Every structure is written in C-alpha cells, then in structure tokens.
Amino acid sequence: MQKLLGGIRKACQQFNLIEDGDKICVGISGGKDSLTLLSALARYQTFSSQKFSLVAVAVDLSDGKHDYSQIESFCQNLGVEFKKAQSNVFEVVFDIRKEKNPCSLCANMRRGILNSTAKSLGCNKVALGHHKDDMIETFLISLFFEGRLSTFKPKSYLSNTDLYVIRPLILCNEEDIEKVSKNYPILKNSCPADKHTERERAKSVLANFEKIYPNCKEKLFTALVHTERYNLLDKE
C-alpha cells in the first residue's frame, strides 16, 4: 500500500488532482481497482495537506440483482459513506439494444448515472480507478481501432455537469494493485462480455510486446505523459 500511496501523492502534486474542500465521489465497480482506490484515498486523507471528504458510489447495472452488502461493510470499515445508484444498464445494452460492441454504450450510461449521482450528493469531483496500464491500453485501442493518438487524462473537466474527473492511481501499476487487493470483497463481474473485450486484447498485445521489448510498457507511458517527447507532424 505504501507504494500506491506514494504514487497517489505524486499524481496529486503533478496533476493537481485534489484541493482543499473537495468532496470526492469515488466510483465503485466492485473490482480490484476501484476498491483499492477507495482504500488508498481513505488512508491518504489522514495525512494529506489538503482536507477533503469522500463518498463511495456504486452504480448497480443489473437493477438490484447484485449484492453490495460486503462492499458496504468495506466502506463502513474505512469510515466512508456508501451510496448505491440503481439502474437497468445491462437490460438496455444487452436485451433491448442487443449491442454487438456493448462496452462503449455501457460505459457512457454508467458514467452518466455516476456523475448525476455525484452532483446530487454535492460532490465537485469524481475519482475513477484507472491506473497506468489502463492508460496505455486505452492508447492502443484508440490507435488500432480509431486511427488516432488518444487516451484519457489524469484530470478532466466536464462542463455539462461542472465536475472534475480525477484518476489518482494514474502513476500506479496494475500488479501493485493486485497485490494490495487480494483480501478485498471483490464483486464478481456478471457482464456477459467480461473477458471478451478489446481491452482484454490490448492487455494481450502489451504482454507480447513486453516479451519482445522488455520495459516497453514503461516507455509507452513515459511517451504519453511527457509532452516534450512528442515528435509528430504539426497542423501546419
């Protein structure tokens, strides 16, 4: 956990993620990343020079079929308020729309519900559990499937909701998150598309890259976060 806390502290300083008076909604999917983020932020809160508050919000995608009791207990042990937002996202995506590529629609609907819930709770920021590996995978997906150089940012402003989205784990490795989260009450993923997504393929591609070019993942990340390393044609 100390390694993750160091990464969060560095990310907060480098990207100005957390400020005095923030009320931060932590999006809880029930997976290792979001639970680790919540646990780490609750600890970071105890020694950070910025004074901020937390509330954990889980968007139930299956219209009440998931049991969040263990997640709620986890939050209580951390001293963090827990809220659940009910939705029928799975029904819309898989039964009504019958999406062949469901991830984009699901993510958009989930984010919309999370953000509106955050606003109703008086939050000014939403924290997501995306980490270093996620950032690189998103870059590869954008490159291979959209033909553009793009990935998410450590901090983004949503003008339509007047919310900031922050990613405090952005400098942290997935393998370190896996070590910390072994005893967390991880919620089983019931998505029909689980393990059959473009992100899983991107993970596989990265793993193969690492075998051929050791440490290439770190080099990719460095290229993404250090703007002076860009060497692309300009618009002129």
Packed helices 216-225 and 132-146: angle between N→C axes, nearest 10 degrees: 80
pLDDT digit string (tens) for the chain, length 236 residues: 999 999 999 999 999 999 999 999 999 988 899 999 999 999 999 999 999 999 999 888 766 667 889 999 999 999 999 998 876 666 566 656 555 666 666 677 778 889 989 999 999 999 999 999 999 999 988 888 888 888 889 999 999 999 999 999 999 999 999 999 999 998 876 665 555 577 788 888 888 988 999 888 888 888 888 766 666 655 55
Which amino acid makes up residue 160?
Answer: N
Please state the pTM of the whole predicted model. Answer: 0.85
Q: Please tell me the predicted confidence (pLDDT) of residue 68.
A: 85
Domains and CATH numbers, the chain: 2-229 (3.40.50.620)
H/E/C letters for each residue in 30-89? CCHHHHHHHHHHHHHHHHCCCCCEEEEEEEECCCCCCCCHHHHHHHHHHCCEEEEEECCH
